[in-house]
Structure 1
């Protein structure tokens, strides 16, 4: 298998954009019409996910250290869709057909063998991980809404109780499905460290045009049931001692950072922690009261609210998160955790790198990419 040949071929195919995923799913459903019911009615989000996953796999095809954990997670996560071993060859056949079609005259027997070998390897890793996970975990958890509070017209904080133990690490995300939007799974990060009562807090902001967030914010009630998928993500706390911590969250990007904060607070000797919580307007700092209560009883914790789109006066710092962190010190010796929109995350990470913080001490989660 020639990794460079795969990368060059995928770069050529990817130039056709959404047409690639559209062709793939059309071919898959024509060959296997019984599979259509496993997917949502609207396929645009699903097509985006396909191209993103393929791009990541191909870009790391010669870096198994990083690729294998990602592919294993894909295998575990696909259990909630009802994917079984018999589906993998069907998907592989449609994938190779799609690649051949968009490669045109560049397609060769060598490329066919490379892609077949690569797909078979990925499929084996996914299937092995799924089968191992099935021995100890369900495909999904049913969870009941036990609290639901609207903090703004477009933002809600909810608490759910899974029907059986749900293990995760602070900073990870979980996918969820609501009955009103079947097969439209979306990722949200629990805003708390694991609790003895097994409940999870979720912070949800309404996304314009989003099919799931309006249901979660406006229509969900206490007593309703949702489904939870297995936890995913690597923005988890580095437990090595002697490392101060910098937490930077935009809007509901606060949620995983709040879970990490709870994990830190449980230590016998917590490190110094600076938490920057940002929003466009002052009412977007929806959880500031709770954060300030926590900091009042924790001398190791400093909370800095930030507002970007108008001057909040003494209530918060004014500016973007990327700008404000530069006014509050040097961060070279900190571990940084950043979560928010892609634009905010990229700008903030860029600023941290300018300050001299090394890339390996920065962990990120772009919630809009969930």
Structure 2
């Protein structure tokens, strides 16, 4: 394979913008109509996710050793869509047809061979990842909604009870599919450390244009059954329970950080020692600080402090400004590890602020859950 040729050809195709996914999906659904049911009824949110991800990953196959574990996880994660090897073949065929269409005279036999070889390696790795995970875990977990509480105009808190034990580590996230929006999966972080009864707390905030978040807050009811994927993510998990922690949350980005606080609390109870933890929770208006009662109860611990920040209410008697600004102004974070969770805009603003305040980049952790997909970062509203 010629990695340079793969990258150069994909760059040429990508310049055609939205025409690329339009051609790809048209070819896929016409040539293999049986796969249409795997995708949402409305494709508006799907946009170019699949074809862009395929093009980017395959054209960077020279970094295979680095991405192989992620591809295996991706294959495992796709079990919830009931993808089988024949469907990988269908997708691969439509990807090659799309490349040939847009490259026209630049599509050569050598380039076709390189793309086919690279896609084959990627698809095999994903299938093997799915097969390996199938030995120990289900494709998804059914979970009953046992509590649904509307906390604010746009935030609801749910308690879910999986039918089977769902193993996860505080700070990880699971994809959720609700009956009101079939085949639309969105990532949410459990807001609690694992409990003996197996229940999971999920915080959901309506996102502008978000089909899943809106359905969950407005329509999801006690007794409904949702589906949960296997947990993903490591950036917000704790690998060292001796490091002091600065936790900075925007909106429902509080969820995974609250789970971390519960994890540290159990460590302190079990060992009598542990890190100092400072959590800052920011919102635009004071009524959006939707979990203050629980956080103030936790703040009775001598090792934990909780502060709030409100950015858009000039009458607020507490700290005003963005949560990143307030956290930086508090100061004293030398030697701390920072965990940041919020909207994409919040993270993009907060991470540089913390770095400018002297926290090394390697000690600032976050994850990214874009619309329907996962990649290294974290945000408060993993929904679309």
TM-score range, shorter chain: over 0.9
Counterpart for residue 306 of structure 1? 309
Tell me, in whole angstroms, the C-alpha distance in 1 between the residues paired with 2:40 and 2:3: 33
Tell me, in whole angstroms, the C-alpha distance in 1 between the residues paired with 2:110 and 2:236: 41
Tell me, which stretches of 5 or more residues in structure 1 are unaligned?
none
Change in Cα spacing, 1:34 to 1:154, as seen in structure 2 (3 Å) is same
The one-character-per-residue Cα deviations of 1:97-135 (angstroms, maximum 9, x if unpaired) are: 112222233333332222212211111111001001111
Alpha-carbon deviation of 1:369?
5.4
Counterpart for residue 229 of structure 1? 229
Tell me, in whole angstroms, the C-alpha distance in 1 between the residues paired with 2:281 and 2:55: 32
Tell me, which stretches of 5 or more residues in structure 2 are unaligned?
367-377
Which of 305, 323, 328 is the matching residue for 1:321? 323
Alpha-carbon deviation of 1:149?
0.5
Alpha-carbon deviation of 1:207?
1.9
Alpha-carbon deviation of 1:59?
7.4
Which of 285, 294, 302 is the matching residue for 1:290? 294
Counterpart for residue 347 of structure 1? 349
Alpha-carbon deviation of 1:312?
4.7
Alpha-carbon deviation of 1:19?
2.0
Counterpart contact for 1:148–1:157, Cα < 8 Å = yes
Tell me, in whole angstroms, the C-alpha distance in 1 between the residues paired with 2:168 and 2:104: 45
Tell me, in whole angstroms, the C-alpha distance in 2 between the residues paired with 1:10 and 1:368: 31
Q: Which moved more, 1:153-162 or 1:305-314?
A: 305-314
Listed as ranges, the matches of 1:152-163 within 5 Å are 152-163=152-163
Counterpart for residue 370 of structure 2? none
Q: TM-score by structure 2 length?
A: 0.90
Change in Cα spacing, 1:58 to 1:88, as seen in structure 2 (3 Å) is closer
Alpha-carbon deviation of 1:89?
1.2
Counterpart contact for 2:279–2:306, Cα < 8 Å = yes
Counterpart for residue 373 of structure 2? none
Tell me, in whole angstroms, the C-alpha distance in 2 between the residues paired with 1:155 and 1:224: 18
Q: Give the CA RMSD over aligned residues.
A: 1.9
Counterpart contact for 1:331–1:352, Cα < 8 Å = no
- Secondary structure (helix, strand or coil) at the match of 1:313 reads coil
Q: Do residues 180 (structure 1) and 180 (structure 2) align?
A: yes
Change in Cα spacing, 1:19 to 1:109, as seen in structure 2 (3 Å) is same
- Aligned pair count reads 368
Tell me, in whole angstroms, the C-alpha distance in 1 between the residues paired with 2:87 and 2:122: 13
Tell me, in whole angstroms, the C-alpha distance in 2 between the residues paired with 1:339 and 1:148: 23
Change in Cα spacing, 1:180 to 1:238, as seen in structure 2 (3 Å) is closer
Counterpart for residue 379 of structure 2? 366
Listed as ranges, the matches of 1:93-172 within 5 Å are 93-172=93-172
The one-character-per-residue Cα deviations of 1:67-87 (angstroms, maximum 9, x if unpaired) are: 122211210111111101121
